[in-house]
Amino acid sequence: MTRGKVRVLVAKPGLDSHDRGAKVVARAYRDAGMEVIYTGLHQTPEQIVEAAVQEDVDVVALSILSGAHSVLVPRVAELLRARGAEDVVLLVGGIIPEEDVPALREAGAAGVFGPGSDLDEIVSFTVACLERRKPS
């Protein structure tokens, strides 16, 4: 984190078009002094990772309400690794059953947040993840 402002990509993968939560989280990151890139709706994992690499982000935050988290999160993590961006912190928010959380963490998600998660906790968790990662 020596290069300045933290850069966060907030993305809505898949066909889900409910973006209020993503926008609320994006604003919390912005209010915490981070630079936010919002990709908009209906992004493919490939589009998300391409944007993450092009924008040189520190964090990718996915908002998934469609139930496709078990497919989308591992794919985004796989593509990040393939592009040499394994140091990017991958976070997931949305309606995710508790029993799915371990598999998402195993796939590469550093954190998983459900509806009603405290915004300050999300930001603090993100900062802690960035402080723990190895300098590039």
pLDDT digits (tens, 9 = 90+) for 9-48: 999 998 888 899 999 999 999 999 999 999 999 999 999 9
Q: Crossing angle, helix 45-55 and helix 69-82, to 10 degrees?
A: 40
Beta-carbon contacts of residue 3 (< 8 Å; ≥ 6 apart): none
What pLDDT was estimated at residue 3? Answer: 62
Residues of the chain above pLDDT 90, percent: 90
Pairing state of beta strands 89-94 and 35-38?
unpaired
Q: How many CB atoms lie within 10 A of CB 83?
A: 13
Residue 73 has pLDDT above 50, yes or no: yes
What pLDDT was estimated at residue 2? Answer: 44
What pLDDT was estimated at residue 1? Answer: 40
Residue 1: C-alpha distances to residues 7, 74, 128 (Å):
10, 25, 11
Beta-carbon contacts of residue 6 (< 8 Å; ≥ 6 apart): 29, 33, 34, 35, 58, 59, 126, 127, 130
In the predicted model, what is the mean pLDDT of the chain?
Answer: 95
What pLDDT was estimated at residue 134? Answer: 59
8 A C-beta contact, residue 45 and residue 57: no
Lowest mean pLDDT among 14-18, 46-50, 63-67, 71-75: 14-18
Residue 80 has pLDDT above 80, yes or no: yes
pTM over 0.85, yes/no: yes
Q: Which of 65, 60, 18, 69 is nearest to 39 (CA)?
A: 60
Helix (H) / strand (E) element for 53: namely: helix 45-55
Classified as helix, coil or strand, 4 is coil
Domains of the chain as residue ranges with CATH:
7-131 (3.40.50.280)
